[in-house]
Structure 1
Amino acid sequence: MQKIETDICVIGAGSGGLSVAAGAVQMGARVVLIEGGKMGGDCLNSGCVPSKALIAAAKAAHAMRSGVAFGIAPVEPQVDFAAVKDHVFKVIETIAPVDSQERFEGLGCTVIRAWARFVGPDMVEAGDKRIKARRFVIATGSRPFVPPIPGLADLPYYTNETIFALRERPEHLIVIGGGPIGMEMAQAHRRLGCKVTVVEGAKALGRGDPELAAVVLENLRGEGVEILENSPVTSVSGSAGAIDVGLGDGRTVSGSHLLVAVGRQVHLDGLNLEVAGVSYDRKGVKVDASLRASNRKVYAIGDAAGGLQFTHVAGYHAGVVIRQIVLGLPAKATMRHIPWATYTDPELAQVGLTEAEAKKAHGEALTVLRQEFRHNDRALAEGKGKGLLKVMVVKGKPVGASMAGPMAGELIGLWALAISSGLKMGSIAGMVAPYPTMGEISKRAAGAYFSPKLFDNPLLKRVVGLVQRYLP
């Protein structure tokens, strides 16, 4: 068995692991990168990239049906479902070289394509190689959680790891799970010509602000997506092409294809963490604020560290870890400024505290600003006036922002910056946004914070009166 000694061993070549490896090796550290599956991980191969490519194709199809408000006669698109999937995989292939083994070897990493397992507190084995490292970074990500529903194991079903390989359009897709993945895939497939039913045991999009989630769900229902909430699945039966999903209230939903999208579970299988003295549970590796595990030589990032399961969180974690293990600087991770978005139409986005969380934390000190997209000229021009921005403000600073509307995933970035940098509302109000843009909605919301102080202030009005009387 070949023995390798290195400074840093990164386990997992998804978004977070690749960021650590690229940053560390380019700053002079010796890096071994281990990946038993596909380079690029879930985000590139079965998550963010293919889902957004599919959503883009669905958006193009929807545009052909929805032009009547603009004076454009609607036309039913002729959807070539296999060609749509060709588009999806072309996008993956275009991005793949950035995450490839060849690129990282070119940067100077030693890349090992095998599954890793710890054989000691400072050593792992992968294939025919044994790697001893000064520091380890666990970046193994997560995989779809498949619930123990009676009958499910006996039927063909899809997850986000397999749905993109389906080249025949489902006649009726049943989606178990009304979270972000389930709702994104439901709307995309509906727009591509499938009948779609979503079955959710609690509230669909239940993680977000309920008022804003309602905006999204209303639009999806308007497009023909059937959404059954508070409907736990009790059984699955049938055969390929004829699947029956039994619900807790005795109803049965019948369809041709089944997508299971009820969440994700951390992928730590086979790592032999006990041997390394690394504490973990079903949520992930137990880490402190610096993302360090119980074994002080080991760090965990992204999904493997528990918490928010987003690609950009893994990238953020990578930066926190690099500062420590490459530069020797202290660094801690915080989630208060991390945004997230669901790419339905309209989009749903959040950063910081929701209205309910902010009320609980700050009570009467909280001011909630509301700005509707129907007051944004660009949104009206685009025919996308349905939507709402909420900003939670305490002592002149935003502590959270929630948004449902067009381009919410893009617009939330300004509020993420404001929260991470500790900006005051005056900074946002003083920003000059191009007209007409969706971004003006943030400026108007910030301006509304000062309106009562400016327009409902008797003392100010007296001062203005004196100025107008005596100003030369």
Structure 2
Amino acid sequence: MGRIETDICVIGAGSGGLSVAAGAVQMGARVVLVEAGEMGGDCLNAGCVPSKALIAAAKAAEAQRRGFRGIAGVAPAVDFGAVKDHVRAVIAAIAPVDSQERFEGLGCTVIRAFARFTGPREVQAGDATIRARRFVIATGSRPFVPQVQGIDTVPYLTNETIFDLRERPGHLVIVGGGPIGVEMAQAHRRLGCEVTVIEAAHVLGREDPELAAVVVQALRHEGIALVEGQPVVRLAGEEGAVEVTLGNGQQLRGTHLLMAVGRRVALDGMNLEAAGIAYTPRGVTVDARLRSTNRRVYAVGDAAGGPQFTHVAGWHAGIVIRQAVLGLPARADPRAIPRATYTDPELAQVGLTEAEARAAHGDALTVLRASFAHNDRAQAEGRTTGLLKVMVVKGRPVGAGIVGPQAGELIGLWALAISARLKLSAIAGMIAPYPTLGEVSKRAAGAYFSPKLFENLGLKRVVGFIQRWVP
């Protein structure tokens, strides 16, 4: 392919890289897109999309199992291979949007090869040497597999391989109690597997403990064994029979092993030193503009070392486009990044948790709570387990956490409120359709003003005067 001169070279065709490439080329920039693996990256092929497709199938199985008042539950007949066909079909339906053909049709030059920097303004990808005015590193991350004794001899799964498994595991042992671990635990349990989750600290330990406890209780109620506070020190066994030894000497056995202990940024072999790009094991070192120590190179998504979410990569892409394509100033403000764990009930958070807010704001903090048990739609659907917490400082929300049905959808309102610095009065005054789960947000916001209205003696005297004397 020889030498290529371009305006922007994007390395990585996951969510962030594709967003940068599509936006830049449609605005008139010359774009080269380099990808050594599958178009669409982890999210499409081994992350968000297949996991949510599997969770949807598991949810359907659980709905049959539980039934409803007046409707008898039945044992679902699960065809595990057909469920995986559904997962593949969902990926296939979305794949054309991320395909090489689409991006070439938009005007990008797409090179399917590994990119390696050879200087501050050049990378080598296959037989092409690419010289660009700006580079965007969007290489994403890969599953992190700890070097536990026996890991080199025992077969194990990661999120990159578990969706290819067509035979239902008899007993799935999951190492890691974070979002990936608990989502896969509940999905496989509902599809008929025995499941054990091992977490060295606490399950969903990053989340608000009050909200996480609701999810943990639901997982235990469904028959998932949760082992907390014990590290894995040794692995042994073979295909279909694995053995996990914990720090206290306890031994657990299963048929399959899933490693879900986190992710590591994919920067290996890129020769970043040749381009003067500083980095750590967490990712490329970037400033608030997402620019690296080489002013011509930006990093987005997981590669930028921040929260590892697809929606963050897409948000980063917009920040880079404004600078690299339009020449406008833009900065990444992480205050309003939402996250969601798609268990049942769902768990979502944006901004500060209660503990973080108390540490930052002390006595100025007000914590509002609204229970799903007091929401009419939740009562009608028999899904009353859940809670919304809002952290408020001087009349403005600084954080919100939700555990309950559709928490991942409901958190969007609070992400907007925090990013736009809205006052709670805006949400309290909002007209929400009835009956909807969204009313839980309005109820929480209203709770901030209720004491001021209903417990204010001065206000009551004014109202009494008006009612007695004003015609």
Q: Do they fold alike, i.e. is TM over 0.5?
A: yes
**Residue in 1 aligned with 2:465?**
466
**Residue 471 of structure 1, CA deviation:** 2.6
Aligned to 1:417, the other structure's residue is in SS state helix
Q: Read off the aligned partner of 1:103 and give its amino acid letter.
A: R
Structure 2 residue 371 is the aligned partner of structure 1 residue 391 = no
Aligned to 2:192, the other structure's residue is in SS state coil
1:90-239 matches, within 5 Å, as: 90-239=89-238
Q: Distance in 1 between matches of 2:279 and 2:41?
A: 21
**Residue in 2 aligned with 1:277?**
276
Q: Distance in 2 between matches of 1:335 and 1:221?
A: 33
Aligned to 1:304, the other structure's residue is in SS state helix
Q: Read off the aligned partner of 1:134 and give its amino acid letter.
A: R
Which stretch of structure 1 is more off in the superposition, 7-16 or 376-385?
376-385
**Residue in 2 aligned with 1:437?**
436
Q: Distance in 2 between matches of 1:304 and 1:70?
A: 49
**Residue 318 of structure 1, CA deviation:** 0.3
Q: Distance in 1 between matches of 2:381 and 2:253?
A: 37
Q: Read off the aligned partner of 2:251 and give its amino acid letter.
A: T
Aligned to 2:51, the other structure's residue is in SS state helix
**Residue in 2 aligned with 1:422?**
421
**Residue 375 of structure 1, CA deviation:** 0.6
**Residue 8 of structure 1, CA deviation:** 0.2
**Residue 189 of structure 1, CA deviation:** 0.0
**Residue in 2 aligned with 1:70?**
69
Q: Read off the aligned partner of 2:7 and give its amino acid letter.
A: D
Q: Read off the aligned partner of 1:389 and give its amino acid letter.
A: L
Q: Read off the aligned partner of 1:398 and give its amino acid letter.
A: P
**Residue in 1 aligned with 2:19?**
19
**Residue 71 of structure 1, CA deviation:** 1.6
- Count, aligned residues: 471
**Residue 465 of structure 1, CA deviation:** 0.4
Aligned to 1:336, the other structure's residue is in SS state helix
| Runs of at least 5 residues in structure 1 that lack an aligned partner in the other structure | none
1:289-308 matches, within 5 Å, as: 289-308=288-307
Q: TM-score, normalised by structure 1?
A: 0.99
Q: Read off the aligned partner of 1:42 and give its amino acid letter.
A: D
Aligned to 1:28, the other structure's residue is in SS state coil
Q: Read off the aligned partner of 1:58 and give its amino acid letter.
A: A
| Runs of at least 5 residues in structure 2 that lack an aligned partner in the other structure | none
Aligned to 2:205, the other structure's residue is in SS state coil
**Residue in 1 aligned with 2:449?**
450
**Residue in 2 aligned with 1:338?**
337
**Residue in 2 aligned with 1:59?**
59
Q: Distance in 1 between matches of 2:164 and 2:14?
A: 20
Aligned to 1:90, the other structure's residue is in SS state helix
**Residue in 1 aligned with 2:8?**
8
Q: Distance in 2 between matches of 1:168 and 1:381?
A: 38
**Residue 381 of structure 1, CA deviation:** 1.3
Aligned to 1:249, the other structure's residue is in SS state coil
**Aligned alpha-carbon RMSD (Å):** 0.6
Which whole-Å deviations, capped at 9, do the CAs of 1:321-364 have from their partners, x for residues lacking one? 00000000000001101100000000000000000000010011
**Residue in 1 aligned with 2:46?**
46
Q: Read off the aligned partner of 1:331 and give its amino acid letter.
A: A
Q: Distance in 2 between matches of 1:197 and 1:153?
A: 22
Q: Read off the aligned partner of 1:89 and give its amino acid letter.
A: R
Q: Distance in 2 between matches of 1:303 and 1:172?
A: 32
Which stretch of structure 1 is more off in the superposition, 30-39 or 71-80?
71-80
Aligned to 1:102, the other structure's residue is in SS state helix
Q: Read off the aligned partner of 2:66 and give its amino acid letter.
A: S
Which whole-Å deviations, capped at 9, do the CAs of 1:140-190 have from their partners, x for residues lacking one? 000000000111110111000000000000000000000000000000000
Aligned to 2:392, the other structure's residue is in SS state strand
Q: Distance in 2 between matches of 1:226 and 1:155?
A: 22
**Residue 231 of structure 1, CA deviation:** 1.3
**Residue in 2 aligned with 1:409?**
408
Q: Distance in 1 between matches of 2:98 and 2:44?
A: 9
Q: Distance in 1 between matches of 2:389 and 2:19?
A: 33
% same residue: 73
**Residue 278 of structure 1, CA deviation:** 0.3
Q: TM-score, normalised by structure 2?
A: 0.99
Which whole-Å deviations, capped at 9, do the CAs of 1:430-462 have from their partners, x for residues lacking one? 001111100000000000000000000000000
**Residue 383 of structure 1, CA deviation:** 1.3
Q: Distance in 2 between matches of 1:39 and 1:300?
A: 18
**Residue in 1 aligned with 2:253?**
254
Aligned to 1:152, the other structure's residue is in SS state coil
Q: Distance in 2 between matches of 1:97 and 1:109?
A: 15
Q: Read off the aligned partner of 2:436 and give its amino acid letter.
A: T
Q: Distance in 2 between matches of 1:198 and 1:220?
A: 10
Q: Read off the aligned partner of 1:20 and give its amino acid letter.
A: V
Aligned to 1:259, the other structure's residue is in SS state strand
Aligned to 2:336, the other structure's residue is in SS state coil
Q: Distance in 1 between matches of 2:197 and 2:71?
A: 31
Q: Distance in 2 between matches of 1:347 and 1:245?
A: 29
Q: Distance in 1 between matches of 2:436 and 2:143?
A: 38
Q: Read off the aligned partner of 2:229 and give its amino acid letter.
A: N
Which whole-Å deviations, capped at 9, do the CAs of 1:235-287 have from their partners, x for residues lacking one? 11011111110011111110000000000000001111010110001000000
Q: Read off the aligned partner of 1:24 and give its amino acid letter.
A: A
Q: Distance in 1 between matches of 2:427 and 2:444?
A: 9
1:364-375 matches, within 5 Å, as: 364-375=363-374
Q: Read off the aligned partner of 1:7 and give its amino acid letter.
A: D
Q: Distance in 1 between matches of 2:334 and 2:408?
A: 17
